[in-house]
Amino acid sequence: MRRPVSIVWFKRDLRIADHAPLVAAAASGPVLPLWIVEPGQWRAPEASARQYLFQAESAAELSADLAALGQPLVVRVGEPVEVFRALAASVTIGAIEAHQESTGERDYARDRAVRAWARAAGIPFREHRQNGAIRALGSRDGWAARWERFTRAPLVPTPEALAPVAIDPGTIPSPEALGLAPDPCPGRQRGGRAAAEALLASFLSGRALTYRRAMSSPLAGWEACSRLSPHLAAGTLSVREAAQAARSARANAAGPLRKGIDSFLTRLAWHCHFIQKIETEPAIERRALHPAYRGLAGAGEDDPRFRAWAEGRTGWPFLDACMRCLAETGWLNFRARAMLVSVASMHLGLDWRAVGLHLARLFTDYEPGIHWSQVQMQSGVTGVNTIRIYNPVKQGLDQDPDGVFVRRWVPELRGLPGGSVHMPWRFGGVETYPAPLGDHEALARAARERLWAVRRGSAYRDAADAIQRRHGSRRSGLKQVGARRKAGAQAPLPLGE
């Protein structure tokens, strides 16, 4: 009789440190560490080759780390149920260990299908909590305290060795082999645990010094921000590891460095706060939180305004610079991300779902819970957040007063002096650069009137209060909308955004 093996199903947890499923499997005998490359997942409209390459690099490093313990990563391509069914024909599966995932409806359906198959096959399928999101959460009351307890709990120790399994490990396919569209991103961050550890160390030992004052700048943010968001999304580093390292560094820090680490810890909590939203309501990736906005449809990808926005040629230089930078690097600081969404939805009247899908593909650090919550928030359709309309010209003057960032990414405007690059139309324009898509101030006024018109009436307020009860952060001190209060307060944005 074949000896049962425990399968550790790696998904968005590509590390061996602080990994409860790996420890549980190692305690019961031979371990088959499995990474399934799902063609359906990577061909989804929110996925891209840049995201896949980051995860593939992380998986390759994970395989080396596992091999050092005695058993390299086993890679299979296909839909999970079929992969598990094929493995069951060659090994005796004693159990499947995995982390819970708080992503979107497709992944929830996939996990349900695997759970149903395992139940029918008589195989235990155990899912372990990975971050601050809580499955089947009944109430947000006390959530912040539970996050604190989770992130302060001891890290799960890495197994000293793994009993190997005689099986073909397979190979990690290329994006081309999966049929992914070409996705050049020369400035993309590299995946892998080593890069995550180096970023965390450099941030906590010095880069956090300017975090609070520089995080809003598209220039200074490259160094001042932690840049850990793609690693948290891929799970090369756990939220608990980051939080405990930050608390340890904070104990020996003072002044701006200590304040920067404090802000980082706050954003780690907000990171999980937003992921909890999609755990509680997976439909937020396709449906507005407030029902009053579900019937409003904006322009889609075939609209010329959408194409101009997506290609960075709206005629608003700072916005175009941000979009072009994102396309070539896969990353932007949080304020620039918020502006891209706000201008698209408010000024240009684009559909927030189409806007969200385009940006999701560009973000190497795409994290569904954070992404869709922010897209809805900056599009004004949550019903519980203040309608905030970013001025693309003012943002440029505030964050890039000398036009350094704009000149780097919009070379057509390099001949204009100083801050004039933010309003080239006032200086006769530039032949190779498009005129603005409209008067941004007039477009903002129209958007504000359109969105606030929906917010009148007791039925709107009642629905907003229900959303706040279900999703609101008790830690932030946000109150119910109520009859005498404008809807919601602007929440701090999460790490990496």
Q: Which two tokens stand for residue 381?
A: 């359709």
What is the distance between the alpha carbons of residues 386 and 134, in angstroms, rounded to a whole number?
A: 27
Phi then psi for residue 437, to 5 deg, are -70, -5
What is the distance between the alpha carbons of residues 124 and 190, in angstroms, rounded to a whole number?
A: 35
Number of neighbouring beta carbons within 10 Å of residue 157: 10
Q: Which residues contact 215 (CB under 8 A, 6 or more apart)?
A: 221, 224, 225, 263, 333, 334, 335
- For residue 127, the number of C-alpha atoms closer than 13 Å in the C-beta half-sphere is 13
**Long-range contacts of the stretch 282-287 (C-beta < 8 A, 24+):** 282/103, 282/104, 282/105, 282/108, 283/105, 284/372, 284/373, 284/376, 285/46, 285/104, 285/105, 285/356, 285/368, 285/372, 286/105, 286/353
Any idea of the CA torsion for 387, 274, 289, 342, to the nearest 10 degrees? 30
What is the distance between the alpha carbons of residues 262 and 251, in angstroms, rounded to a whole number?
A: 11
What is the distance between the alpha carbons of residues 427 and 406, in angstroms, rounded to a whole number?
A: 16
Phi then psi for residue 33, to 5 deg, are -80, 125
What is the distance between the alpha carbons of residues 215 and 212, in angstroms, rounded to a whole number?
A: 6
Three-state DSSP state, 37: strand
What is the distance between the alpha carbons of residues 249 and 251, in angstroms, rounded to a whole number?
A: 5
Do 279 and 134 contact (CB within 8 A), yes or no?
A: yes
Q: Which residues are annotated as a binding site?
A: 211, 264
Q: Write b or e for each residue in 271-307: b if 16 or more Cβ atoms lie within 10 A of its Cβ, otherwise e.
A: bbbbbbbbbbbbebbebbbbebbeebebbeeebebbe
Q: Which residues are annotated as a binding site for FAD?
A: 211, 264
Residue where the block lists tokens 């690097």: 329
